[in-house]
Chains A and B, each alone.
Chain A
Amino acid sequence: MEKNKDTLGLHTFMQDRKTLFCYSGPLTEDLLTTISNPVRHQLSDDETKETVAKRVFGVFIEQAQNIIRYSTQKTKSTGDSIGTIAISVADDGFLIEAVNKIDESKKDVLEATLVELSVADQKALRQMYKKRLRDGPPEDSEGAGLGFIEMARRVKHFEFNFVESEEGALFVYRGWVS
């Protein structure tokens, strides 16, 4: 069977992994505005604490904006950034996932930054955040250079890896919020 004919398989796969929301394709700020409210609505059921929902939403927004700013895979016609972002129910909270193509030459710097963040405790992360605010963004940042520190502060734990593909390096991020 051709892969894209397995519609039921897609449904079952998403249901089985408890994915509440998933988007894969060109991501723009306009689209982010449109999907923000439904995403928040998904997170705001009675059983989820508002503080948890806000942390999930915060990580989701940072990840979406990372894809928009840094994905090197673009649509041909409009140059919009392509990536995948998802929110799923995890054992004791939520899992936020993102995948996008990155500039191969930025990989080492990104990896070093994320390794540093993954071993830092909350107190250290708070200090790093404040230092970055005072010092200003790094040269190659389109945002404030704070996004990954912000995410590290909101998640309980995160993992990342890089996958080599024919079209270049894919960056894979997984963060758990509870």
Chain B
Amino acid sequence: MKFEKTQRTPLVEIGSNSCLIKGECYPENIAEWSGPVLEALKKTLVDANTQFNVDIELYYFNSSSAKFLFDFFEFLEDSAEEGKKIRINWRYRAEDDTMLEAGEDFQEDITACEYNLVIVEYTSEDHEPE
């Protein structure tokens, strides 16, 4: 399942044992965008019987989207507590203190999932406006 990136929403790719979120997130209405994403993730995770890898690489998200990320992690935690094996990689650029801090903040509530903060190289095409 793939949700194409737009100017104000990130790319989301959900495979049978992986989920990638990459880009920027400040949509007009976060619930409208995140509803189908969470729904697709839930359906996929039910059937996942090997390790499920979640990669999140955001360059910017607004405060309304922070709530979505909080709910997203809470769902992953609940799933892990019920026995799913989940690894989360929070990917951020070395110089991006804001995204590092955000990654650390979410990490505090996560115990059942494996959670890693991963530094990524900056590539200019990652950040080209639409």
Binding site for B on A (CB under 8 A): 29-30, 32-33, 36-37, 40-41, 50-51, 54-55, 57-58, 61-62, 65, 126, 129-130, 133-134, 136-137, 143-144, 146-147, 149-150, 154
Binding site for A on B (CB under 8 A): 7-8, 26, 28-29, 59-60, 62-64, 66-67, 70, 95-98, 101, 105, 108-109, 129-130
CB neighbours (8 Å) of B26 from chain A are 61
In the assembled complex, how far is the CB of residue A115 from the closest CB belonging to chain B, in whole angstroms? 20
Q: A30-B28, A55-B98, A57-B60 known; 6 other A-B pairs, CB under 8 Å? A: A36-B7, A36-B8, A51-B97, A129-B105, A144-B66, A147-B63
CB neighbours (8 Å) of B7 from chain A are 33, 36-37
A29 to B7, CA, bound (A): 12
| CB < 8 Å neighbour of A61 from B62, B67, B96 | B62
| CB < 8 Å neighbour of A144 from B67, B105, B109 | B67
Contacts between chains A and B (CB distance < 8 A), count = 66
CB neighbours (8 Å) of A55 from chain B are 98
Is there contact, CB below 8 Å, between B28 and A37?
no
In the assembled complex, how far is the CB of residue B9 from the closest CB belonging to chain A, in whole angstroms? 11
CB neighbours (8 Å) of B8 from chain A are 33, 36
In the assembled complex, how far is the CB of residue A100 from the closest CB belonging to chain B, in whole angstroms? 17
CB neighbours (8 Å) of B67 from chain A are 133, 136-137, 144, 146
| Chain A to chain B contacts (Cβ below 8 Å), 26 pairs | A30-B28, A33-B7, A37-B130, A41-B129, A51-B96, A51-B97, A54-B60, A57-B60, A61-B26, A62-B63, A126-B101, A126-B105, A130-B108, A133-B66, A133-B105, A134-B70, A136-B67, A137-B67, A144-B64, A144-B66, A144-B67, A146-B66, A147-B63, A147-B64, A150-B63, A154-B98
Please list the 7 inter-chain residue pairs (A to B) with the smallest Cβ-Cβ separation, ordered nearest first: A146-B63, A29-B28, A144-B67, A150-B63, A37-B129, A143-B64, A147-B63
Given A29-B28, A33-B8, answer yes or no on A51-B95 (Cβ-Cβ < 8 Å): yes
